[in-house]
Amino acid sequence: MLKKITVINGPNLNLLGSRKPEVYGNTSLDEIVSSLRKRAAELGYTIAAVQTNAEGAYVNAVQSAADDSVGLIVNAAAYSHTSVAIRDALENLKIPVVEVHLSNIYAREDFRHHSYISAVASGVIAGFGPLSYYLALEALAEILKHS
């Protein structure tokens, strides 16, 4: 059986494609996930994709991933900048976590410059649009190869 990588997307990312395309691009979340699935299969993984607009549901998804996944790709969206609860859930994991952002959060408003997630992630990829997710997958596969 292929090993599972879980990708958890936070609030408003269900609107990708139509939400602020000048910042987030024209690609929908479904399109991003299907491309990820193709690449993951080549690398020997399967992708479970979760999207939620609710903080508690995000925490639940992180906790569930601990049971059945070998790694996590997380875009907590706005919760990256506010949620100690999501940070604490991620900190408790024994599997590697890669944080992604479509936009370059450091080139945007000050309140986006700090992420609670970054300190508990193996690494952060931001600013490459949908490519951020693919790079995160490559990074995670590399980490998993050596762990």
Residue ranges in contact with ligand DQA by CB under 6 A? 12, 75, 77-78, 80, 101-103, 105, 112
Catalytic one among 24, 45, 79, 116?
A: 24
From the CB of 147, what's the least distance to ligand DQA, in Å?
Answer: 26
24 is catalytic: yes
Whether residue 132 contacts residue 102, with contact meaning beta carbons closer than 8 Å, is answered with yes
Element (H, E) at 73: strand 71-75
Element (H, E) at 143: helix 131-145
From the CB of 1, what's the least distance to ligand DQA, in Å?
Answer: 31
Nearer to ligand DQA among residue 12 and residue 64 (C-beta): 12
Residue in the structure block whose two tokens are 């690494």: 123
Element (H, E) at 49: strand 45-51
Catalytic one among 45, 58, 79, 101?
A: 101
Nearer to ligand DQA among residue 2 and residue 23 (C-beta): 23
Whether residue 20 contacts residue 12, with contact meaning beta carbons closer than 8 Å, is answered with no
Nearer to ligand DQA among residue 111 and residue 142 (C-beta): 111
Q: Give me the half-sphere count of Cα atoms (radius 13 Å) on the Cβ side of residue 123.
A: 13
Please list the active-site residues: 24, 101
